[in-house]
Amino acid sequence: MSADRSFDLILFGATGFTGGLTAEYLARHAPANAHWALAGRSKSKLTAVRERLLAINPALADLRLIEIDAADTEALQTLAQSTRVVVTTVGPYIHYGEPLVAACAAAGTHYADLTGEPEFADLVWLRYQQTALASGARLVHCCGFDSIPHDLGAYFTTQLLPRDVPIKLEGYVRVSAEFSGGTYHSAINAFSRLGSTIKLQRQRMKLEAKPAGRRIGLTAQRIRHDAELQTWLVPFPGIDGDIVRRSAAMLDVYGPDFRYGHFIQLKKFSTVAALLGGVIALISLAQFPLTRRWLFSKKNPGEGPSPERRAKSWFRVRFVGTGGGRRVVTEVSGGDPGYGETSKMLAESALSLAFDDLPARAGQLTPVAAMGDFLLARSQRAGIQFSELSNEAQTT
């Protein structure tokens, strides 16, 4: 631990559903000599979380609790200056996340979150990239199911292909899970803010430098049936594909010409039609305050699936990559993506930022660009499976 910092890491939002699961994971897996703390709005709720952690690790009786509001900029600056790493589960991040990330960027404190909000990621880059570069802070978004399995999976697959050749890679996602009220509210909020999201994306594209002498792009984006997988593939325009392509832009190990496409797998075309219709309906209803409030009322923030439902949940991401005359198929798989695995991924990201000998990079980084092989190894040790299914000469 740095001599001028009291803590190795602080978990902000520890009283929420995912925050509590992350705290439990840290209670089991943080090094015995780690100095860490819980932060949140309610001291009584933080105390209840600590009591729960004592059943896991009795040594945490003196675990520090920090009562703090996400909008208290002065207190957030003090918090950021007291620790090497802050991880936060407090969303929607576009509403509650900016003051904390601003404090971390200014203090040179590494930061990780669970956002899947492209608007927030672009806002942070536009407003705090230069500050973080100057202070040495690593600002790492998407440290949960959005987008670690996809970012690490693409990296893992790319390493199995020849170096310094054009690479085409696609990821195909299958999930069986129930998502929380917080995730639902974040999605509705994002749908309601598409105009702002597009505006910030365009601003970033104008300013962000392209990798010199290399090209990064998309594969063909269309709905299609895959005979090998026997499923329909639907392009998914969320943040996961952006994160993979940003990793490729930051690291030249992805080759001189890297193309990535991100898709959802669905067995029946009727399910494809229902999904597209449902998304269009949600986007339409989210545009108006009255119907948006009605959507929000359907699920409360802080609600999450039962332990029994989480135990039955799973995810699989199949990657198919080609380059240099080779075709590689891999798969990343795990259990409950929204909670069990997401809390594990966030906690391991925090521990990596705090304790691993990471590359000397700063600014807004992807999980792979920030932590790379360290996070891959941590994820594998934590039980997330990275499998090479085939590696053969490509047939035409």
Percent of the chain with pLDDT over 70: 98
pLDDT band at 1 (very low <50, low <70, confident <90, very high): very low
How is residue 392 annotated by DSSP?
E
The distance from CA 27 to its chain's CA centroid, rounded to whole angstroms, is 21
More confident residue, 318 or 396: 318
Per DSSP, the chain holds a count of helices (H) and strands (E) of 15, 15
The C-alpha atoms of residue 227 and residue 230 are separated, in whole angstroms, by 5
For residue 2, the model assigns a pLDDT of 54
For residue 17, the model assigns a pLDDT of 87
Strand partners, 140: 112, 365
The C-alpha atoms of residue 147 and residue 142 are separated, in whole angstroms, by 5
Q: Are 123 and 302 within 8 A, CB to CB?
A: no
The C-alpha atoms of residue 133 and residue 276 are separated, in whole angstroms, by 40
More confident residue, 283 or 304: 283
Let me know how long the chain is.
396
Q: What is the mean pLDDT of residues 147-170?
A: 96
Tens of pLDDT, residues 199-242: 999 999 999 999 999 999 999 999 999 999 999 999 998 899 99
For residue 302, the model assigns a pLDDT of 63
pLDDT band at 20 (very low <50, low <70, confident <90, very high): very high
Q: Which amino acid is at 68?
A: I
pLDDT band at 251 (very low <50, low <70, confident <90, very high): very high
pLDDT band at 159 (very low <50, low <70, confident <90, very high): very high
For residue 180, the model assigns a pLDDT of 67
Q: What is the mean pLDDT of the chain?
A: 93
What is the value of pTM for the model shown?
0.94
For residue 201, the model assigns a pLDDT of 95
Q: Minimum mean pLDDT among 78-92, 274-288, 375-389: which range? A: 274-288
Tens of pLDDT, residues 29-84: 999 999 999 999 999 999 999 999 999 999 999 999 999 999 999 999 999 999 99
